[in-house]
Structure 1
Amino acid sequence: MGPTTEVIIVGGGFAGVACARELSRRGIRTLIFDKNSYHQFQPLLYQVAASQIGVSEVTRPLRAIFHRTNKVKVFTAEVASIDTANHSVTTTDGHSYRARVLVLANGAEPNFFDTPGAREHTYPLYSVRDATRLGTALVAALNTANNEPEMEHGVRVVVVGGGPTGVEIAGAIAENFRYIVPGYFSPEVAEKCSVHLVDMLPNLLTPFDDKSKAYAVKRLTRMGVKLKLGSGVTEVTPGSLTFADGAHLPADIVVWAGGLKAGKLVGDSGLSLGRGGRVDVTADLKAPGAGGVYVLGDTANMTDARGNTLPQLGSSAQQAGKWAARNIAAELTGNPTKPFKYVDKGYMAMIGRGAAVAELGPKRRLVHGPIAFAAWLAVHLVLLSGWRQRASALFSWAEDFLSHSRSHVVLGRAD
């Protein structure tokens, strides 16, 4: 067992980093564990896959984030198990560490809902590796189509999931087929390529207003995205999907944006689990029945003051991380903790070039089109970690918007 510290945080995502930063400002010694040495900005992973921005724009070394403080120590290690009773973690290399308070903010993983073939034959989009893997597969498929002009079809992409991630990646790939492929490959290949967006629900962007949904459908259809809604995927095979209504859809690449669930680490923790395998946390962001254990971000089902479940968004995770740190500081000094007060900033989804939907604030002010597009860019610039990342992303967006060019190369493995 390693030395005891005040706080251990598992996960270097939005919630974990925000929590560690606030704890550092309060002078509280913290260990933060992540299997990656970097913090990744998940909302923009689809743009990495579409070669709109590079990996360096969505990643920042965790040690660079905390290099100005001696209160936070970063461990690049995968946590194999946790002991909530003793507030300890054990890494895959066999080392164990213990703290007075344990924070679980280790994110989630794709939820395939036990769909046969989905895990083996689709491309999820939750990590940098996922994004580079998908981007590599898209380029390889386009190369094949370009080298074999006798093919009757180009690259057939099917995106499963009509939430923000599905809408954004479908729009980005469709734009590539329309604007990028004709110049980098050939107009003939571009004309043969297709994008389908499918979902078991009858509408896209379920949490959004009906006007936002209608706008998204209109813009995606205009960009050439074909929609199949109201029937779930029952099987994925190499080259096709089967649906509950008996339909079949050919596909060369299937992108899985069908939802998330908490990972095995939390599943094996002994904590009481709720929807999506996540922990239904108390009002002050603790795991029920486990003193000194906080659960944040995609690992938790968090609620607002009215009991409404909070969306799995970066802003929600950041707010929870900061609030948990304040509660931890109070707990360590013998003071009472306070219920989480969530500031509702609304929802956003990018649809394509100059097009987005935004529902801002708790009153859900509806904004569509170029204004929503600009708001989306501004919000994501603020959320990005690091000035270099912000400047580089802004330059990439300007280059893409003004020239329809791609200076980024996706490097990865498609297998």
Structure 2
Amino acid sequence: MTSVVIAGAGLAGVACAHKLASAGVDVVLIDRNDYHQFQPLLYQVATSQLPAEDVARPLAAIFAKHPNVRLIQSEIVDIDFRSRSLTTGEGETVTGHYLVLAAGACANFFGTPGAAEHSFPLYSIVDAERLRLHVRSMLETRSGPLDVVVTGGGPTGVETAGAFAELFSALRTMEHAGGAADVYLVNHGDALLAPFSERSHKYAFEKLTEHGVKVKLGVGVSKIEAASVHLSDGTVLATQTAVWAGGESASPVAHECGVAPGHGGRIDVMADLTVDGYWGVYAIGDVANIHDGEGKTLPQLGSVAQQSGVWAAENIIREITDEDRKPFHYKDKGIMAMIGRGAAIAEVGAHRHHIQGPVACAAWLGVHAALLSGAHSKVDAFMSWAWDYMDRDHAALVECHGDPKRIAWEDDKKPTLSTVRPPR
């Protein structure tokens, strides 16, 4: 029986495993966590809009109907493309007829002094929960400057800055001390949301400013210390909450494969998502440089990851049935960012039709519901929560009185996750 080993259970890995398992192929899925996390909603966890458990789902639940999927929770310490095998932290060597690398990405600090030690990246549930608990502690103890400094003007930075600004604004209306905090967004480039159009750059800047965010463009972060962020123009911002959204690189495991990494430390792949020179080896999602067929590298988006996972699975199935592999064709759903309740930007389709405001919010919800459908069967619960989120602010109440609002997942009433929280 043909077997496929998949390294990584993000959007790409889960999509690939699900497609293969549904076709009757034996799959071994390996990840350091026993759950699948939905990265686009991490900023909601960090700003107290959602509990960590609601942006994760146990892998055992996702594949409950697929006994041909073997799940291994472990770190990957070595990987060999030639033998299509990998070694776990427990010393087990797992080999397949095919190997799919879907190890995702991690923060890229670009050598900025102190960034790794003193900033809060947002690339995992543990990252998001760590940031949430830190902010809550700061608001409770008032032991230092409450201001938040977000580095990076991409979607993660814009969404995070907007969410924190709304949180602090709501705290001001409650006459809570946290309302005195400011939010800074620092971006090395001259525009927010660089891949978007000029119209979107302007809208994002205006909406963030309207929400109270102090946007600093054309300036970089030169150093981060425990209680301050130093900017390249000599400005020093007093803060103990520096959020890093300044870029990402491929997971470190990509450097252990014996293949020279391409841009961003990612693995360059062929048009059919295989790794050149290694039969039966695929790389998908954020760990790979995937091209659009016209020489351009596709961005690290959830839709790219999910579609590449399905496509790699289909190509493997084609090989098993003695058919030719097909070049990956990405169905471009556009790019989008949520700036706050009622404020969003979406540039839809290959021609990037611009929409903004409530209509863009609806588009954002639709795309994210589609991405979630591979991990949660009760997607309407997400939609119900999301519309409620658009209408009212729960985060300020959370910081003062309780826990983040849950999504009522009918298929996840009692999630069983080993841990999604950082040590306190």
Q: Is 1:30–1:73's contact at 8 Å kept on the other side of the alignment?
A: yes
Matched to 2:126, the amino acid is R
CA displacement at 1:106 relative to structure 2: 0.8
Q: Which amino acid aligns with 1:241?
A: V
Of stretches 49-58 and 205-214 in structure 1, the one that deviates more from structure 2 is 49-58
**SS of 1:267's equivalent?**
helix
1:30, distance to aligned residue in structure 2 (A): 0.9
Question: What is the percentage of aligned positions where both structures have the same residue?
Answer: 46
1:400 aligns to what?
A: 389
**Is contact 2:119–2:243 with CA below 8 Å preserved after alignment?**
yes
Q: Following TM superposition, by how much is the alpha carbon of 1:84 offset from its aligned partner in structure 2, in angstroms?
A: 0.7
Q: CA separation in 1, counterparts of 2:48 and 2:59?
A: 24
CA distance in structure 2 between the partners assigned to 1:188 and 1:305 by the alignment: 53
TM-aligned CA deviation for residue 65 of structure 1: 1.0
Structure 2 residue aligned with 1:40, among 28, 33, 37? 37
1:316-353 Cα distance to aligned partner (Å, 9 max, x none): 11110111111111223333211101111110000001
Stretches of structure 2 lacking an aligned partner (at least 5 in a row): 405-419
**Higher mean displacement: 379-388 or 333-342:** 379-388
Q: Distance in 2 between matches of 1:399 and 1:283?
A: 42
1:232 aligns with 220
Contact (CA 8 Å) 1:158, 1:255: kept in 2 or not? yes
Distance 2:162 2:286 in 1: 25
Shift of residue 188, structure 1, vs aligned partner: 4.7
Per the alignment, residue 17 of structure 2 pairs with 20
Tell me how far apart the structure 2 counterparts of residues 289 and 198 of structure 1 sit (CA, whole Å). 42
1:167 alignment counterpart:
158
Any idea what SS the aligned residue of 1:285 has?
Answer: coil
Q: Distance in 2 between matches of 1:289 and 1:65?
A: 33
Partner letter of residue 136 of structure 1?
Answer: L
- The residue type paired with residue 324 of structure 1 is A
Q: Secondary structure at the match of 2:97?
A: strand
Distance in 1 of aligned mates of 2:222 and 2:378: 40
Instruction: Give the aligned partner of residue 321 of structure 1.
Output: 309
Equivalent of residue 139 in structure 1, options 136, 140, 145:
136
- Structure 1 residues 14-47: Cα deviation after superposition (integer angstroms, max 9, x where no partner): 1111111111122111111011111000000000
Q: Distance in 1 between matches of 2:160 and 2:177?
A: 23
Change (3 A) 1:181 1:381: farther
Give 2:403's match in structure 1, choosing from 405, 409, 415: 409
Matches within 5 A, 1:2-401: 6-145=3-142, 155-180=146-171, 182-183=173-174, 186-190=175-179, 192-385=180-373, 386-387=375-376, 390-401=379-390
Deviation at residue 107 of structure 1 after TM alignment: 0.4
TM-aligned CA deviation for residue 396 of structure 1: 3.4
Aligned residues of 2:125 and 2:421 also touching (Cα < 8 A): no
Q: CA deviation at 1:5?
A: 5.5
SS of 1:196 mapped into structure 2: strand
Query: Deviation at 1:412?
Result: 4.5
Quickly say closer, same or farther: Cα 1:15–1:413, change in 2 above 3 A.
closer
Aligned residue for 2:279, secondary structure, equals coil
Counterpart secondary structure, 2:345? strand
**More moved, 370-379 vs 384-393:** 384-393
| C-alpha contact (below 8 Å) 1:57/1:393 kept by paired residues | no
Per-residue CA deviation, residues 241-288 of structure 1 (Å, 9 max, x unaligned), is 222222222222000001111122111211121011001111010112
Distance 1:332 1:136 in 2: 48
Distance verdict in 2 for CA 1:143–1:181, change over 3 Å: farther
Output the CA distance in 2 between the equivalents of 1:404 and 1:99: 49
The RMSD of aligned alpha carbons is 1.9
Letter in 2 for 1:173: F
Q: Is the 8 A contact 2:171 2:178 kept in 1?
A: no
Deviation per residue, 1:133-188 (Å, 9 max, x gap): 0000111111123xx7xx8xx511000000000000000000000014543xx345
Q: Which residue type is aligned with residue 156 of structure 2?
A: T
Partner secondary structure for residue 254 of structure 2 = helix
Distance (Å, rounded) in 2 between the aligned partners of 1:387 and 1:102 = 26
Is contact 1:103-1:293 (8 Å) kept?
yes
**How far apart are the structure 1 equivalents of 2:96 and 2:327?**
23
Residues of 2 paired with 1:310 and 1:73: CA distance?
A: 31
Flag structure 1 segments of 5+ consecutive residues without an equivalent: none
**CA apart distance, 1:391:** 4.2
TM-score (norm 1): 0.93
Aligned length: 403
SS in 2 for 1:75: strand
* Preserved contact between residue 292 and residue 330 of structure 2 (Cα < 8 Å): yes
Query: In the alignment, residue 285 of structure 1 is paired with which amino acid?
Result: L
Q: TM-score, normalised by structure 2?
A: 0.91
Mapped partners of 1:334, 1:75: distance in 2: 30
Checking the alignment, whether the CA contact within 8 Å between 1:346 and 1:364 is kept in structure 2 is yes
State the AA in 2 paired with 1:409: D
